[in-house]
Structure 1
Amino acid sequence: MRNIFEFSNTWSLPYFHPTIHPDLFSGIRHVELRWAFPGHWLPSMDSVKSVYFSAGQQQWIETCHAVLAMKGLQSFSLILEGNWFAESVEKIPVFLEPLRNLRIGRQWTLVLPDQPYYAREVERIGEELRERGVEAVVRVG
């Protein structure tokens, strides 16, 4: 039997991290992040979106730091769901750069929303991630 920790709120993992003993946190083996990231978390030329960008970016970076602190991690999946995540493929690798140093026994999985736009771009996103040093398998939900 495999226990999978699933986090669905942007601050859940960073808040969870300091609440348990470091050995237990490092002992976590399987994590799924299921989030509907709002588009304003990604860099934008839109002045209204840019107001929210820094706060959202900080949340995301702290979440990535918590994931990277899991020294025993064996599998990791980031599942971007819902209609909120509707960003261009060019922004996805930028968004995932904080996970660039995530090294587990095998590649981790990025699951994009089940939309034709992303289905057509899976290969391109995977190539761009590899060029940026992000070791993830990309697929559509």
Structure 2
Amino acid sequence: SIHLLYTLNIFEFSNTWSLTYFRPTVPTDLWDAIREVELSWAFPGHWLPSKDPVKTVYFSAGRQQWIETCGAVTRMKGLQSFTLHLSGSWFCEPVEKIPVFLEPLRDLHLRQRWQLNLPKQPYYVKEIRNIDGDLRKRGIECSIRAV
């Protein structure tokens, strides 16, 4: 049955646009049946606030898309597992920026913590405990790994 297609598979998205464009094509009852989502994203870094007016345009567009994606994920009624793989320009981004970026996922509450995978760079491996503490203070319930 089609219902099993949505309940038994892992839905993988390579960018935020994919998930938000996919959403309107799926009937609500089947969308709510999705149990597992993985989002892999190589962040270009332009979502970070900047005093440069040109970068500000990119920031607002990228940030809005991220907020819409997070909203779509947090509203998935049947979701049991969510994994976010961050890669790309996250290399050497200050760890203090990660909790700010993940703020739109604060309302994602699953039976088990959702998974945040960071690049396996020495900088992140060393800072995982600090990142975890900052996320917990903000009410963001996830487990962090460097992979």
Letter in structure 1 aligned against 2:42 = A
Opposite residue 16 of structure 1, the aligned amino acid is F
**Are 1:93 and 2:99 matched, yes or no?**
yes
- Which of 104, 125, 144 pairs up with 1:119? 125
Distance in 1, Cα, partners of 2:54 & 2:117: 28
Residue number among 72, 82, 98 corresponding to 1:76 in the alignment: 82
1:1-141 alignment to 2 at 5 Å?
A: 2-82=8-88, 84-86=89-91, 87-141=93-147
2:15 aligned counterpart, secondary structure: coil
Q: Deviations over 1:38-80 (max 9, x none)?
A: 1111223444432310000001001001101211101100000
Q: Which runs of 5+ in 2 are unaligned?
A: 1-6
User: How large is the Cα RMSD of the aligned pairs?
Assistant: 1.5
Consecutive unaligned residues in structure 1, runs of 5 or more: none
Identical-pair percentage: 64
Spell out, residue by residue over 1:14-56, the C-alpha distance to the aligned partner (whole angstroms, 9 max, x if none): 1111111001001000010011011111223444432310000
Larger Rg: 2
Q: CA deviation at 1:114?
A: 1.2
Letter in 2 for 1:105: R
For normalisation by structure 2, the TM-score amounts to 0.90
* Aligned position for 2:3: none
- 1:92 and 1:49 map into 2 onto residues whose CA distance is 19
- Write the letter of the residue equivalent to 2:135: L
1:136 and 1:71, CA in 2 relative to 1: closer, same or farther beyond 3 A? same
Task: State how far apart, in whole Å, the 2-side matches of 1:52 and 1:18 are.
Answer: 25
Alignment TM-score, normalising by the size of structure 1: 0.93
Letter in 2 for 1:13: L
Equivalenced residue count is: 140
Deviations 1:69-125 (A, max 9, x none): 21110110000023x223210110000000000011110010001111111110000
